Amino acid sequence: MKKEKFAFAPKMRALLFAAVAIVSLSPSIFAAADWQPAVGIALLIPAIVIAIAYMAISALHIEHFKQLLHDEAANLVLTALIALIIIAGMGVFQNLAGSLVCGSSQSIGSGCTSKSPAGLGEPYFPYCSSMNYGAGGSPLCTPESGAMYSNPLQWANIVNEKQIIIVKDQIAQAIVFNAKIGAASSVSGFCNMVGTGLGIAGCSAYGSMRGPVSQLIMALGTGLMELEAMKILLSFASNYALTLLLPLGIILRSLHITRKMGGTIIALSLSLYLVFPTAILLSQSLADQFVYYSPAPGASYVSLSYATASNYPSIALPDNFDLGQPSDYECNPFEPSESNFISKVRGILRNGDGTNTEVVGATANSSITYRLIFIAIVRTLLMGALVLTLTILSARAIGKALGAEIDVWAIARLS
Amino acid sequence: MENKNSKKEICRCGNFSSARHAKQNRAVFPSSSEKSFVNAEPAASMHAFIFAALALLVFSSFSFALDAPHLKEWPQIAYDNAPFEISFSSEGDVDAVSHLYAIEIKKGADIEKDGGTVSLGADKESSFRIQCTIAKCRGASVSVYVFALGSGGGISEKPGTFYVRPQADRPKYKPEFDSISPDDGSLSASLRENSVAGIGNKKYTLKFKDPQGEFANFNITIYKDGKFVSTDFYPSATVSIDCSGCKEGTSFQVQASGIKNSAQGPSMAVQLFTPLSSGLPDPAKAAPICDPKNLQESWLPVMAAGFMALIIIIALAYTLSESLSLPRLGVWAKTEITQLIISALIFALIAWLIGVQCSFDAGALAKMAGVETAKYGVVNDGDTMMSASLKGLEWSIQQTHITTAFIRRELGVLSMRATYNKYVPDGAGIIGSGGFSVSPLSGDWTMSGNLNMLLNVNTTFLLSLLFQLFSLLLFSTKSGLFLFLVPIGLVMRSIPFLREAGGGLVAIGVGFYILYPMFLAIIAITLPPLYAGHDAINVTGFPSAQAIAENERTITGTDIFSYWFDLPDLYKRAKGAQDTNKTFYTINLSPLYEMSAYNFIRALLIPSAGLVVIVSFVRDLAAIFGGEVDASRLIGMV
């Protein structure tokens, strides 16, 4: 047996040095975020397996498999580099997210009365955006809370929760309105004499609004489903993307037969943890300028308000319908008022006037249709599709960079 | 009061009872020929007995009036088709050994008479039970006369009389279902909507409970496949159901009613079903291929035969190449023997992977993910990948099923509410009237459309989950396709022209046997913590969803007006804080949309993502094994 047979090849030496380096650096890894030790361990396991396999192959003189192990070692080094990039990049990404919302790490302050609060830097999102405020209207970027909400995932969760509350409220408004429409449209009159007579559903024209309201509720409900699904996915990403999926992906990527699967899992975990919440923030930032409070600096739109009980078309009904008389109802079935009915229909389906003030104005008389369509279709459904598309695109791109081929559009089709 | 020893049970069936009742009553009172007293053609001895009794009655009214027994207790109200009890006692200086009684049932012009003797028990009391049938007893008056037979006996001073009322007038109390458990101590069957599906060929103990402690005893009747089996009275509502030897699709119906104050309440019915068809996979049989015998019995013969055939072919080829000097044939033989060895190594690798999967503790995996399994109750420590994946699917299926059941019920409620119509006369007289009407809840029609949509999507989610369950059973169990795919694939990949197809089969087999259960187990571990507080039972807005779902069939009950006078919280939430006027309570759809979103995640989105990963693995593995799998087709299954 020749002595040089036991000499490690340069690549293998490099690999073992890398393994030793990882082990020696592990205290600093463990001192970092709670998910990083799992990644370190995920790298160590295949490194040890490869080293043992190399020893065995060298001892048994199975030269045929040495090249295979060299390739595996090279891939493990590449995987380790990817892990290091992820660990380093995560901090950079979170700092970037923090600067996006807080603008040069400064506080926006409470309230939203001024377009340009004095002494503040320029945040990339609107000053008075809902995104800058947490529950109860408290600003997210105070020196105390700035660090906490620099995590885009937590931030996206807050934004999503607030959007869920808004959509739920819109659904409740629409349901109550629908109940009133149903009651109003059912009022009918009858008159009979000696067993013969007539009946007339003089208010049934109000029923023509049922279809649009049903569609509206359906759109809002579908939007709510999407937001709730995002909520679960955000929770999934927060709990498992880095602590379970990423280490699992790294281990699998280190093995030859599971390399592409590992790359796929890494891509999905990173997309869920980083791109998904960021896409939610991006979509909200796009929509926010049209919806909330005062306009952002430089914005050319007056923001749309939400539909509330006060700006829905009112339907007059007695408090207790069992004891009501025809005069209590807005519609008298024997003498239905055409103009009264039309004003209600226009309240739902009103077109914008020449100056567009009815469309984008924030007055109680503006069309609720535009508000609701914006909330249901644009903000919730369209932006939801945008979020999913961005997430899937990133998963595909990251997966491709890691050597995986992902048919992610199968997931996209589900939406 | 009750004296069991002296109790006499009488069957009132005969010609006016249905055949089923006759059979039922025969089972309750086995010696019907002896005890039945109302027949189309009473036996001659019975005639003689009745006449003797009446003669004795008349005679004794003069002789033994002082020591007359009296009816101690009889029901003031009796009900159709329900047993009630009559008790006598003889007081004073009576040395009676038995009571002679005569009964007269009178309904219009029809009069029926009967009688019998019952032995005296302790305290000189006796009692007997009578059961009226609908045809004869409803609206009838029943008179009972009693004698004390023996020295010093006498006749009762006056008859006890009571009337029989319709069954619908019975008081609204009934026992509740408690539990059902196999007698062999295996896992208890669970009750769902008063229906136990999937009972096996074994004996069960079925219990009802009496939470108020109000019943003297219980009447339990058992039907099998719609046919009467038995009925009896029990001091406690525990009955044995013998399903040993049950065929597929056998059903049991067990009815229990409580008896209180000698009157019987309505029945509580429980349905028990055995699996409908052997064509449907049985989760109970979803055992992984962990027993070495499974491999030895199914894999080894096939593989050994295939490999032996290949070795013989290769040896022949090599021999021919040497003897006929055909070097190309020799090269082919050497190549193929290498591939054969590789196939054997792949087999060893798969066997090892099976071992890993069989020994992997899902609880340990949960700990790695930071999940406390005991807190959520879906996966437990010690679960294998297969059992964890089955539990996870059952959890998802149960939650989705509750959602669909709840939506179905609400659809029914809304349909009824929407029809409510109020007439408000403005002027009314003898010859005519006028006014207006309003259906204040007709907006519920619109809600029905939305609920229909939700029902459709949730049904799709449920079907998706069932598809996953059946896929798991089809691919990943010891009786599944795995046993076909892998050995056949390994043999095929050892044959030159079939190598590609064989490699593909092996890759699919490994992917769906090794990885698919692991992936489903990961879902079972990771999702329940995220759903805490958001499952179908606890989701905001319908805290009693499960209870409502389990009582779905009560929607057709008679208490229809409760649907708008006593609405659950779910309806009231629709109003929110904007309007304190409670006139227009209607259903709030938001919790149902929320629940549907959660079902979407667990039924479609996460499984789809997992299948993307698995298919990616299968494609890679197939390439390594020399095969090719069109992954997009597999993904299309989603």
| ipTM at complex level | 0.76
Assign A144 a pLDDT band (cuts: 50, 70, 90): very low
CB atoms B442 and A182 under 8 Å: yes
**Residue A386 to residue A384: CA distance in whole angstroms:** 5
Mean pLDDT by 10 residues, chain B (638 residues): 37 32 32 30 47 47 40 55 57 60 70 70 62 55 67 52 57 64 54 49 74 75 77 79 68 75 63 48 58 67 79 88 86 82 81 79 82 80 84 85 79 78 73 80 85 93 88 72 76 78 84 85 89 58 44 41 41 40 62 88 87 80 74 59
Alpha helix ranges (H) inside A117-151: none
The structure tokens 């089972």 sit at: B27
**Closest-CA residue to B444 (of B563, B609, B526, B357):** B563
Q: What is the nearest CA distance from B637 to chain A, expressed in angstroms? A: 10
In a mutagenesis test of the A interface, which of B439, B584, B600 is the best target, namely the one with the most A β-carbons within 10 Å? B584
Which residues in A356-392 are b (16+ Cβ under 10 Å) and which e? eebbbbeeeebbbbbbbebbbbbbbbbbbeebbebbb
Judging contacts by C-beta atoms under 8 Å, the chain A residues touching residue B632 are 407
**Residue A144 to residue A141: CA distance in whole angstroms:** 8
CB atoms A236 and B526 under 8 Å: yes
Judging contacts by C-beta atoms under 8 Å, the chain A residues touching residue B421 are 186
**Residue A134 to residue A156: CA distance in whole angstroms:** 11
Q: Provide the pLDDT for residue B546.
A: 46
Judging contacts by C-beta atoms under 8 Å, the chain A residues touching residue B615 are 407
How far apart, in Å, do the first and last CA atoms of chain B sit? 69
% of residues, chain A, pLDDT over 90 = 4
CB atoms A192 and B433 under 8 Å: yes
Give the closest of A178, A214, A321 to B583, CB-based.
A321
Give the closest of B431, B624, B635 to A410, CB-based.
B635
Angle at A268 (CA atoms; ends A266, A271), nearest 5 degrees = 105
Give the closest of A222, A236, A406 to B612, CB-based.
A406
Judging contacts by C-beta atoms under 8 Å, the chain A residues touching residue B436 are 187-190, 326, 333-334
Angle at A156 (CA atoms; ends A154, A160), nearest 5 degrees = 120
The structure tokens 């219980």 sit at: B218
Q: What is the nearest CA distance from A308 to chain B, expressed in angstroms? A: 9
CB atoms B594 and A324 under 8 Å: no
Q: Which residue of B has its CA nearest to A244?
A: B369
- Report the range out of A297-306, A329-338, B218-227, B308-317 with the highest average pLDDT: B308-317
In a mutagenesis test of the B interface, which of A242, A257, A392 is the best target, namely the one with the most B β-carbons within 10 Å? A257
DSSP 3-state of B31: coil
**Residue B77 to residue B165: CA distance in whole angstroms:** 7
Judging contacts by C-beta atoms under 8 Å, the chain A residues touching residue B444 are 179, 182
Say which residue, A9 or B103, is predicted with more confidence: B103
Q: Which residue of A has its CA nearest to B430?
A: A194
CB atoms B624 and A309 under 8 Å: no
Q: Provide the pLDDT for residue B458.
A: 93
CB atoms B576 and A172 under 8 Å: yes
Q: Which residue of B has its CA nearest to A408?
A: B612
Judging contacts by C-beta atoms under 8 Å, the chain B residues touching residue A414 are 604-605, 608, 638
Judging contacts by C-beta atoms under 8 Å, the chain B residues touching residue A157 are none
Q: Provide the pLDDT for residue A234.
A: 93
Assign A139 a pLDDT band (cuts: 50, 70, 90): low
Q: What is the mean pLDDT of residues A36-46?
A: 75
**Closest-CA residue to A182 (of B445, B442, B589):** B442
Q: What is the nearest CA distance from A90 to chain B, expressed in angstroms? A: 20
User: DSSP characters for B572-619?
Assistant: HTTTTTT----TT-----HHHHHHHHHHHIIIIIHHHHHHHHHHHHHH
Angle at B600 (CA atoms; ends B588, A272), nearest 5 degrees = 115
Model pTM greater than 0.90? Answer: no
CB atoms B616 and A406 under 8 Å: yes
Q: Which residue of A has its CA nearest to B610?
A: A265
The structure tokens 């370190």 sit at: A40
How many Cβ contacts (< 8 angstroms) between chains A and B? 232
Element (H, E) at B77: strand B77-79
Give the closest of A190, A317, A406 to B436, CB-based.
A190
DSSP 3-state of B233: strand
Judging contacts by C-beta atoms under 8 Å, the chain A residues touching residue B626 are none
Judging contacts by C-beta atoms under 8 Å, the chain A residues touching residue B426 are 325-326
A220's tokens? 């809002």
A294's tokens? 């005062």
CB atoms B596 and A225 under 8 Å: yes
Assign A407 a pLDDT band (cuts: 50, 70, 90): low
Q: What is the mean pLDDT of residues A278-305?
A: 59
CB atoms A232 and B431 under 8 Å: no
CB atoms A194 and B432 under 8 Å: yes
CB atoms B584 and A180 under 8 Å: yes
Q: What is the nearest CA distance from B363 to chain A, expressed in angstroms? A: 14
% of residues, chain A, pLDDT over 70 = 57
- Whether B366 contacts B377, CB under 8 Å: no
pLDDT by residue (tens digit) across A157-173?
888 888 888 888 888 77
Q: Provide the pLDDT for residue B79.
A: 59
In a mutagenesis test of the A interface, which of B403, B583, B611, B634 is the best target, namely the one with the most A β-carbons within 10 Å? B583
**B633 CA to centre of own chain:** 38
Judging contacts by C-beta atoms under 8 Å, the chain B residues touching residue A183 are 438-443, 584
Q: What is the mean pLDDT of residues A330-339?
A: 77
Q: What is the nearest CA distance from A383 to chain B, expressed in angstroms? A: 17
CB atoms B432 and A222 under 8 Å: no
Q: Provide the pLDDT for residue A292.
A: 46
**B34 CA to centre of own chain:** 39
Assign A376 a pLDDT band (cuts: 50, 70, 90): confident
Q: Which residue of B has its CA nearest to A234?
A: B530
**Residue A351 to residue A359: CA distance in whole angstroms:** 8
CB atoms B578 and A308 under 8 Å: yes
CB atoms B443 and A183 under 8 Å: yes
Judging contacts by C-beta atoms under 8 Å, the chain B residues touching residue A190 are 423, 433-437
Judging contacts by C-beta atoms under 8 Å, the chain B residues touching residue A410 are 608, 611-612, 635-636, 638
B353's tokens? 């992977």
pLDDT at A226 over 70: yes
Judging contacts by C-beta atoms under 8 Å, the chain B residues touching residue A314 are none
CB atoms B446 and A214 under 8 Å: yes
Q: Which residue of A has its CA nearest to B527?
A: A236
